[in-house]
């Protein structure tokens, strides 16, 4: 990744506190560059999901600004902003009363696309995430496996072709094999579509595999930000702890 | 005189009273839906209103029905003798199950589904009508069913304030110590309650998510 790529998202001294005492994230300043996969890595409760929600304005900073496409999130119309950002969460959150096709077509429906265009887009997306359209478009979420649901979740996030994708531990609930498969496919997808992605995980192996850059969170602050290679050689104690975890698992990076 | 004999001899009065009874229950349940469902939705948006509103509805529900009818009679505008007062009382009775089930049904929608909807840029109204209402429709309908069945029973007491209905037979029977007459009011009322329960129950099953989909609602 070159340094002079345009910036998709920029955090400027962002803090969020819900009560007066303890900030959930404190004084975050970093940017997400165009077409990169920025992995936010950290333990549970380190503030990475909060950081993600600050981008699509599910949360609003107490201090500082989050800029998306050069405009502070608080100045965006919340629904407009969110329809420009794909959002994938661990629980997937497919609408159980909608078929797969209708689930994928939600944002196009909200954006009032014509039926033909929508149908075509749904088929294209199902192909893209490796699900046979004729076989899957009329199924309900309850008729899918965990991996298939998450594929639909990714397809749904891509529906209106948003430039930015936020992924919150999307593969966290999947079995290891499916998980690796989906990681590989996501990486290929990113190479083809060159979307900007912010990917939250606590799995260092997943992070290293996917990341253009890794941002390491510790207690609500950004402890480290750099390439996977830099991460492996960082002497930050939290980074060392994560790398040590890898080595214990018998993987010498 | 047997029950059948009595009813067939007085069939005009029987049909009139049955019709009055149905009107009392239908009107009051309908009005209670129009008030209760929006109120239940409001509570999901303003959770702080929950305890006072549900508490008030609870008070109406637990007031002995005869007392509630009596208390309403001297009220200006809504009071007096007759069907209007009875309908007001029946609405107050029907509110609690409808408000409570609307509130609980929407609260019961999987938070992940709600978050996904908001994260995709649904407005609150779109989230409500595209996601929350369809997913909680079965629960709301169950509340309406309870309200309607209670209403059929309570409406028999409406006769005490001159609102008509099948209670007329019952009160007459009590006054004349005539069991046949009491049954002439009670059995048709019970049949209406059972029929309402059955019909709304079927509707509820039709709209409730299928078992597999219900599991999905709980644990996506």
pLDDT per position as a tens digit, A167-216 = 999 988 888 888 888 899 888 888 888 899 999 999 999 999 999 999 99
Candidate from B116, B126, B216 with C-beta closest to A89: B116
**Token pair belonging to B184:** 């002439």
pLDDT per position as a tens digit, B76-115 = 777 778 788 889 889 988 999 999 999 999 999 999 999 9
On the question of pLDDT at B219 being above 50, the answer is: no
Q: What is the pLDDT of residue B209?
A: 57
For residues A63-88, give the mean pLDDT: 91
**Token pair belonging to A25:** 């994230």
For residues A227-240, give the mean pLDDT: 90
CB–CB of B118 and A81 under 8 A?
no
- Nearest residue to B91 via CA among B158, B136, B140, B139: B158
In order, the DSSP letters of A186-203 are HHHHHHHH--EEEEEES-
pLDDT per position as a tens digit, B161-205 = 888 889 999 999 999 998 889 998 999 999 999 999 999 988 888
CA distance B31 to B8: 33
CB–CB of A143 and B212 under 8 A?
yes
Q: Name every chain B residue with its beta carbon within 8 A of the beta carbon of A95.
A: 113, 116-117, 130-131
Mean pLDDT over each residue of chain A, to the nearest integer? 89
Contact criterion met (CB below 8 Å) for B6 and B181: yes
CB–CB of B120 and A78 under 8 A?
no
Contact criterion met (CB below 8 Å) for B180 and B2: yes
- Is A94 at the interface with chain B, CB within 8 A? yes
Mean pLDDT over each residue of chain B, to the nearest integer? 87
pLDDT per position as a tens digit, A79-122 = 999 999 999 988 888 999 999 999 999 999 999 999 999 999 99
- Is B124 at the interface with chain A, CB within 8 A? no
Q: Name every chain A residue with its beta carbon within 8 A of the beta carbon of B215.
A: 142
- Scan for tokens 């333990």, then name that residue: A43
Q: What is the pLDDT of residue B218?
A: 41
CA distance A28 to B93: 55
On the question of pLDDT at B215 being above 50, the answer is: no
On the question of pLDDT at B5 being above 90, the answer is: no
- Give the nearest chain B residue to A110 (CA atoms): B122
Half-sphere exposure of B203 (CA within 13 A, CB side): 14
pLDDT band of residue B8 (cuts 50, 70, 90) is confident
On the question of pLDDT at B57 being above 90, the answer is: no
- Is B218 at the interface with chain A, CB within 8 A? no
Q: Measure in Å the smallest separation between the Cα of A151 and chain B Cα atoms.
A: 14
- Is B216 at the interface with chain A, CB within 8 A? yes
- Is A72 at the interface with chain B, CB within 8 A? no
Helices (H), B46-132: 50-62, 65-72, 83-107, 111-119, 124-126
- Is B84 at the interface with chain A, CB within 8 A? no
pLDDT per position as a tens digit, B12-36 = 999 999 999 999 999 999 999 999 9
Q: What is the pLDDT of residue A244?
A: 86
On the question of pLDDT at B213 being above 50, the answer is: no
Q: What is the pLDDT of residue B164?
A: 86
pLDDT band of residue A251 (cuts 50, 70, 90) is low
pLDDT per position as a tens digit, A8-58 = 899 998 999 887 677 888 889 999 999 899 999 999 889 899 999 999 999
Q: What is the pLDDT of residue B186?
A: 92
- Is A97 at the interface with chain B, CB within 8 A? yes
pLDDT per position as a tens digit, B107-161 = 999 999 999 999 999 999 999 999 999 999 989 999 999 999 999 999 999 888 8
On the question of pLDDT at A156 being above 90, the answer is: yes
CA distance A72 to B152: 58
Q: Name every chain B residue with its beta carbon within 8 A of the beta carbon of A56.
A: 119
Q: In what order do the strands lie in the sheet with A71-72?
A: A23-33, A7-17, A63-68, A71-72
């Amino acid at each position: 990744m070159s340094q002079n790529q345009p910036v998709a998202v920029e955090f400027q001294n962002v803090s969020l506190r819900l009560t007066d005492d303890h900030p959930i994230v404190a004084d975050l300043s970093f940017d997400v560059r165009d077409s990169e996969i920025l992995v936010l890595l950290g333990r549970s409760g380190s503030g990475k999901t909060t950081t993600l929600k600050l981008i699509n304005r599910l949360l609003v900073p107490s201090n500082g600004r989050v800029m998306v496409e050069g405009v502070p999130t608080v100045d965006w119309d919340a629904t407009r902003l969110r329809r420009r950002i794909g959002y994938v969460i661990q629980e997937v959150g497919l609408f159980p009363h909608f078929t797969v096709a209708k689930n994928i077509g939600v944002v196009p429906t909200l954006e009032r696309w014509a039926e033909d265009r929508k149908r075509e887009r749904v088929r294209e997306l199902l192909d893209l995430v490796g699900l046979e359209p004729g076989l899957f478009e009329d199924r309900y979420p309850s008729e899918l496996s965990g991996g298939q649901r998450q594929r639909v979740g990714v397809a749904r996030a891509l529906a209106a072709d948003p430039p930015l994708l936020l992924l919150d531990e999307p593969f966290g609930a999947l079995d290891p094999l499916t998980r690796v498969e989906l990681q590989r496919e996501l990486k290929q997808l990113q190479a083809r579509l060159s979307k900007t992605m912010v990917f939250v995980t606590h799995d260092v192996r997943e992070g290293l595999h996917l990341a253009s850059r890794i941002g390491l969170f510790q207690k609500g602050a950004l402890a480290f930000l750099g390439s996977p290679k830099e991460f492996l050689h960082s002497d930050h104690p939290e980074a060392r702890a994560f790398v040590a975890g890898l080595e214990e698992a018998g993987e010498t990076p | 005189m047997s029950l059948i004999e009595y009813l067939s001899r007085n069939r005009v009065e029987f049909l009139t009273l049955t019709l009055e009874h149905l009107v009392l229950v239908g009107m009051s349940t309908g009005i209670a839906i129009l008030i209760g469902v929006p109120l239940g939705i409001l509570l999901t948006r303003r959770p702080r209103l929950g305890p006072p509103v549900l508490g008030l509805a609870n008070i109406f529900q637990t007031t002995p029905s005869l007392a509630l009818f009596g208390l309403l009679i001297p009220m200006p505008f809504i009071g007096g003798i007759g069907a209007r007062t009875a309908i007001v009382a029946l609405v107050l009775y029907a509110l609690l199950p409808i408000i409570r089930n609307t509130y609980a049904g929407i609260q019961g929608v999987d938070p992940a589904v709600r978050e996904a909807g908001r994260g995709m840029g649904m407005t609150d109204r779109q989230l409500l009508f595209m996601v929350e209402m369809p997913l909680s429709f079965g629960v709301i309908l169950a509340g309406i069913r309870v309200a309607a069945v209670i209403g059929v029973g309570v409406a028999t007491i409406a006769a005490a304030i001159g609102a008509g209905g099948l209670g007329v037979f019952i009160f007459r029977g009590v006054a004349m110590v005539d069991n046949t007459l009491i049954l002439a009011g009670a059995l048709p009322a019970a049949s209406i309650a059972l029929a309402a329960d059955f019909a709304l129950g079927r509707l509820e099953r039709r709209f409730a998510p299928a078992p597999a989909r219900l599991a999905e609602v709980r644990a996506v």
